Amino acid sequence: MAKKRPQTKAVKPQLTDGEIPVVGAREPCPCGSGRRYKACHGRAAAHAVTELVQRPFEGLPGECDWVALRELVPAATVELTLKGGLPDGVPSVTLATVLPMAWPALRRDSGAVLLALQNDTSSGDLSRDMAHTLHRALTAAPGTPIAGERVPADGPRLQDLLDLDAPFEPVVHSGFEFWIPDSAENASPEVAASLERANAAAIPTVKLSGVDAAYWCETPEKNHLRWVMPQPEEQLLDALARLHAAGTSSLGEGTRLVGSFRAHGLMVPVWDLPSGMGAEECEKPAAEFAERLAAALASDSPLTADERRARGGLTNRQVTLS
């Protein structure tokens, strides 16, 4: 039998734990142990950044709209307000659903910053990942796209960087022309191609004005209303079940509540709508439904047999997005 190769012993740690920098997973650990970073000090760091935060936008104004823009809305922007104001040379910071070439962020030639929401992230805390990207974009040279990178486990979150008293007011766009500040004719070939692909794939979407975080969208066969709601899931399921059993969960003739998504710790009920029912036609039925839902949420009586069956059906038609 072959002899086991003796393990190499560390000569002497070169750095203290508090000074260990982040390096590539397969690179030697900077502490001098002789092991790869991922098997040494990187193990604790990896666990810290992959632990899933169920509600990354909790505590931010407009949490439901953050979820909608992350998961449901193709093209939208929101002007963000930073704590303490904007740094010198940064005229504005804008949240965007997605950016060209799937960039996590972009510092325009003007110094303005665009921060993308619909990007893959390196950790289980989307808020921390985006805060790290935002910090890098604020200090990047004008005209620089920001690439993704590993996020420190102890970095700030969006809740630490944004003004929590400022309004969060999404503007939904029909396409992604907001990528180019002047004219699409001035875009590079790569950005122009990315713009064309994104516009072709975008589903027409409109934010309702009469209720919070409800978004109408148009598809070839039928339209839908997707409504992000802030209530705890169990309480909301009970209320929806009461309405469903009573035959009052629809938004009018030809519409029906078909199920829900679960996204970033919140529920998103979904209604099928007739193809001829536009966003404006949804406004009044949605406002009336909000009143019925509030009454159902206020009830604390046990569910009836019919309501329990309705609740089971709603639960079975639930899909988890994130």
* Cα–Cα distance list, 163 to 81, 84, 287 (Å): 6, 8, 30
Question: In whole angstroms, what is the distance from residue 113 CA to residue 191 CA?
Answer: 17
Q: Hey, is 169 helix, strand or coil? A: coil
Stated pTM of the model:
0.83
Supply the angle between the helices 279-298 and 233-245 in degrees, to the nearest 10: 110
Phi, psi of 203 (to 5 degrees): -85, 125
Residue 32, pLDDT score: 77
Q: What is the pLDDT along the chain (322 residues), one digit of tens a residue?
A: 444 444 444 444 445 444 566 666 667 887 778 777 667 766 655 554 457 899 999 999 999 999 999 999 999 999 999 999 999 999 999 999 999 989 999 999 999 999 999 998 878 999 999 999 999 999 999 999 999 888 888 899 999 999 999 999 999 999 999 998 775 556 778 888 888 898 998 999 999 999 999 999 999 889 999 999 999 999 999 999 999 999 999 999 999 999 999 999 999 999 999 999 999 999 999 999 999 999 999 999 999 999 999 999 999 999 988 7
The conformation of residue 229, written as its DSSP 8-state character, comes to B
Least Cα distance to 215 among 273, 256, 165 occurs for 273
Least Cα distance to 70 among 37, 96, 104, 31 occurs for 96
Pull the structure tokens for residue 195.
């713009």
